[in-house]
Amino acid sequence: GNSVTQMEGPVTLSEEAFLTINCTYTATGYPSLFWYVQYPGEGLQLLLKATKADDKGSNKGFEATYRKETTSFHLEKGSVQVSDSAVYFCALRTGFQKLVFGTGTRLLVSP
């Protein structure tokens, strides 16, 4: 079955540091890949997505590239801000099936 593995958190960084959150997946077929962000007390917001191999999703300075050869979709940002502190979920979906989430990675950014 489909599954997503994310790095354990929390990830603790100083403001303006470089961020990487690792995500790897197992899937049958050709999944679409997503990063969702959840701020405290809120629902999930789509951060970025990629629907086929070698696609790069980007939004608000965050990027992730769909790597079929390594089955990965790592999230990166060149310079994090305190306001980026949140929980980040990697997820995949194949065709019209349920969305499968990773366990989430909490990011804490200090001034």
Partner 1 sequence: DTEVTQTPKHLVMGMTNKKSLKCEQHMGHRAMYWYKQKAKKPPELMFVYSYEKLSINESVPSRFSPECPNSSLLNLHLHALQPEDSALYLCASISTGGNTEAFFGQGTRLTVV
Write out the DSSP string of 24-39: EEE-SS--EEEEEEE-
Alpha-carbon torsion 105, 44, 48, 3, what sign? positive
**For partner 1, which residue of 24, 44, 58, 67 counts as binding (CB under 8 A)?**
44
**For partner 1, which residue of 11, 19, 27, 32 counts as binding (CB under 8 A)?**
32
Kindly indicate which of the ranges 11-19, 44-52, 61-69, 77-85 contains the residues binding partner 1, using the contact rule CB under 8 A.
44-52
Write out the DSSP string of 49-66: EE-STT-EEEETTEEEE-
Q: Which residues form the interface with partner 1 (CB under 8 A)?
A: 30-32, 34, 36, 41-46, 49, 51, 89, 93-96, 98-99, 101-104, 106
